[in-house]
A and B are shown apart, each in its own frame.
Chain A
Amino acid sequence: MSLLEVDDLAVHFGGVKAVDGVSFSVEEGEVFAIIGPNGAGKSTIFNLISRIYQPTHGTIRFDGQDITALKAHDIARLGIARTFQNIELFDHSTVLDNLLMGRHTHRATNFVQDILHLPSVRREERAHRRHVEEVIEFLELEAYREKRIEGLPYGVRKVIEIGRALAIGPRLILLDEPASGLSVEETQDVAFWIEDMRRDMGLTVLMVEHDMGLVAQVSDRVLAVANGRPLALGTAAEVQADRHVQAAYLGSPEAAA
């Protein structure tokens, strides 16, 4: 059984078919990339999986469980974390607090205990902090721990978003264009981290990415989509060589066919 199974997924906004009959499955421990031209429906697929959009039809299964009817806030508890294409961090909080917010699904205290700051709250807090420190160490964010998000450079914010997703302690992480806007060196870092996530943390990675270099370097399988429809599925080299994919990127008349 695959970890994530997407079956005949479709979503229509009015007359626009943003995603139209996409099926794929992601195996446990795999790095799976979705590529495609702008407006192909890649981020929409992410938004469907993380339950921000309601699919018109089709199902999404995670670890055998149908998650199509769940609410957006139920997804993290199952172990699915995500990042956003246009960074969605909590700008007025520190890096540390942003990462601690990622521990929300693991909280065991209620608000009354929190207000009274019972010993259990402190105990929990220490545990969360230890976990978050591991993430900080992994992503080398030590220098920014106490800094507020607003004012941090773009590349650092991008990394913090990955950190916040990791703080959830997920089984599947969805990375929405992790390398967009990053320098060559920063993109290399992201490639290493993705490798480590898979190898050391045993994570499954599903990512949307434009940088074919990064995709080829880290991903096991690649799905190409265009106009909301799947074009090709295979290794990075196979997909890149596919006639339909090339047509979709170059915009030749064949793409419409």
Chain B
Amino acid sequence: MPMAAHLMEVLQLLIGGLANGCIYGLVALGFVLIYKASEGVNFAQGDMMMLGAFIALGLGNEGQLGLSFWLAVPLAIALMFGIGWTVERVVVRQLFGQPQFALVILTIAMGFVFRFIAGSIWGYSPLVLETPFAGVNLSLGGVVISLADLIAIVVTLVLTVALWAFFAFTKVGLAAQASSQNQMASYIVGVPVMKINALTWGLSGAVATVAGVLYATRGAIDPNIGLLGIKAFAAAVIGGLGSLPGALLGGLLIGIIEPIAGRYAPGELAIMSPYILMLVVLVTRPGGLFAQIHMKKV
């Protein structure tokens, strides 16, 4: 194969990987949001993404509710914000003061419940979300970029910056950080710890929906796409749980390494590659690339 064609192919892979990575990154952002506010880990994040995508599909698709895409998506985001918020209010809050491990198991179980709900309503065969930009491609000097990929990349970047700014500059964001570092002390100085937890769960539901819709614009969805959450989790860990830019970076790394490994190595190795990358990062930098863990004070 000529050099130039090879380069084009790799470039093409990279762009696809980048778009994929953005979706991993967005789901990872959802993890990080909750982790940042309550040091809890939501293993149902992938399933929340799945549910968000299906709700958008249920609202927007012809033959379902048939709303306009531009109405269906914000509505789905709002609905998932409500679902995330409710889950925190009704279930997660009960675990306040329990070990971290309890929440891990609880959210794993919740993921199965979400999957069952989606499966019962929309069935288990793949469905396609109808979007205005399906199949539209842009050609840039020999490299073909689908509009869906481009939108995924842009939306993710904007969202990451917005969330980062939220935590760094707004009063609520700072309060959320405080409450994650010492719940009791924050409570005493007047941080509404409970309200903030509910808010972050709502937010991560909304972010998950965005990720879900972006995912659905690029392919069919079924109730098992939530398993992508595991990969997103690897992304969050690579970045260092608790760091928003880290989550995005981790997602992008995984998104890029997958197609490259798939191009040059046997298929099984490609599937393993994100996890191998994660283990390497964990062994060399136990706190992730943007480590935030320090020694316990005694």
> What is A's interface to B at a CB cutoff of 8 Å?
43, 47, 52-53, 84-86, 88
A85 to B296: give the CA distance in the assembly, Å. Answer: 13
B-side contacts of A84, CB under 8 Å: 298
A199 to B59: give the CA distance in the assembly, Å. Answer: 81
B-side contacts of A43, CB under 8 Å: 298
Chain A proximity of B211: nearest CB distance (Å): 37
Kindly report which residue of chain B lies nearest to residue A52, judged by CB atoms.
Answer: B298
Given contacts A52-B295, A85-B298, A88-B298, 6 further A-B contacts (CB under 8 A): A43-B298, A47-B298, A52-B298, A53-B295, A84-B298, A86-B298
A43 to B298: give the CA distance in the assembly, Å. Answer: 8
A88 to B295: give the CA distance in the assembly, Å. Answer: 15
Question: For chain B residues 261-298, which have a beta carbon within 8 Å of chain A?
Answer: 295, 298
Chain B proximity of A192: nearest CB distance (Å): 27
A52 to B295: give the CA distance in the assembly, Å. Answer: 9
A33 to B181: give the CA distance in the assembly, Å. Answer: 33
A86 to B298: give the CA distance in the assembly, Å. Answer: 7
A171 to B295: give the CA distance in the assembly, Å. Answer: 28
Q: List 9 A-B contacts (CB under 8 A).
A: A43-B298, A47-B298, A52-B295, A52-B298, A53-B295, A84-B298, A85-B298, A86-B298, A88-B298
Chain A proximity of B100: nearest CB distance (Å): 16
A84 to B295: give the CA distance in the assembly, Å. Answer: 16
Chain B proximity of A187: nearest CB distance (Å): 22
The A/B interface has a contact count, at CB < 8 Å, of: 9
| Top-4 shortest CB links A-B | A84-B298, A47-B298, A52-B298, A88-B298
From DSSP, what is the main secondary structure of chain A's interface residues?
loop
Kindly report which residue of chain B lies nearest to residue A43, judged by CB atoms.
Answer: B298
Chain A proximity of B184: nearest CB distance (Å): 13
Kindly report which residue of chain B lies nearest to residue A82, judged by CB atoms.
Answer: B298
Chain B proximity of A219: nearest CB distance (Å): 23
A-side contacts of B298, CB under 8 Å: 43, 47, 52, 84-86, 88
Question: For chain B residues 181-221, which have a beta carbon within 8 Å of chain A?
Answer: none
Chain B proximity of A47: nearest CB distance (Å): 7
A53 to B295: give the CA distance in the assembly, Å. Answer: 9
B-side contacts of A88, CB under 8 Å: 298
A85 to B298: give the CA distance in the assembly, Å. Answer: 7
Chain B proximity of A71: nearest CB distance (Å): 15
A53 to B297: give the CA distance in the assembly, Å. Answer: 10
A-side contacts of B295, CB under 8 Å: 52-53
B-side contacts of A52, CB under 8 Å: 295, 298
B-side contacts of A86, CB under 8 Å: 298
Kindly report which residue of chain B lies nearest to residue A88, judged by CB atoms.
Answer: B298
Chain B proximity of A175: nearest CB distance (Å): 14
Chain B proximity of A207: nearest CB distance (Å): 16
A88 to B297: give the CA distance in the assembly, Å. Answer: 11
Kindly report which residue of chain B lies nearest to residue A53, judged by CB atoms.
Answer: B295
A97 to B129: give the CA distance in the assembly, Å. Answer: 60
B245-272 Cβ-contact flags toward A at 8 Å (1 or 0) = 0000000000000000000000000000
B-side contacts of A53, CB under 8 Å: 295
A182 to B286: give the CA distance in the assembly, Å. Answer: 39
Chain B proximity of A53: nearest CB distance (Å): 8
A108 to B161: give the CA distance in the assembly, Å. Answer: 58
Kindly report which residue of chain B lies nearest to residue A176, judged by CB atoms.
Answer: B298
Kindly report which residue of chain B lies nearest to residue A46, judged by CB atoms.
Answer: B298
Chain A proximity of B111: nearest CB distance (Å): 29
Chain A proximity of B89: nearest CB distance (Å): 29
Chain A proximity of B182: nearest CB distance (Å): 14
A86 to B296: give the CA distance in the assembly, Å. Answer: 12
Chain B proximity of A164: nearest CB distance (Å): 15
A52 to B297: give the CA distance in the assembly, Å. Answer: 10
Chain A proximity of B241: nearest CB distance (Å): 22
A40 to B298: give the CA distance in the assembly, Å. Answer: 15
A43 to B295: give the CA distance in the assembly, Å. Answer: 15
Kindly report which residue of chain A lies nearest to residue B294, judged by CB atoms.
Answer: A13
Chain B proximity of A211: nearest CB distance (Å): 20
A223 to B167: give the CA distance in the assembly, Å. Answer: 45
A133 to B255: give the CA distance in the assembly, Å. Answer: 61
A149 to B212: give the CA distance in the assembly, Å. Answer: 48
Chain A proximity of B298: nearest CB distance (Å): 6
A229 to B298: give the CA distance in the assembly, Å. Answer: 20
B-side contacts of A47, CB under 8 Å: 298
Chain B proximity of A180: nearest CB distance (Å): 14
Chain B proximity of A83: nearest CB distance (Å): 11
Chain B proximity of A230: nearest CB distance (Å): 22
A135 to B295: give the CA distance in the assembly, Å. Answer: 32
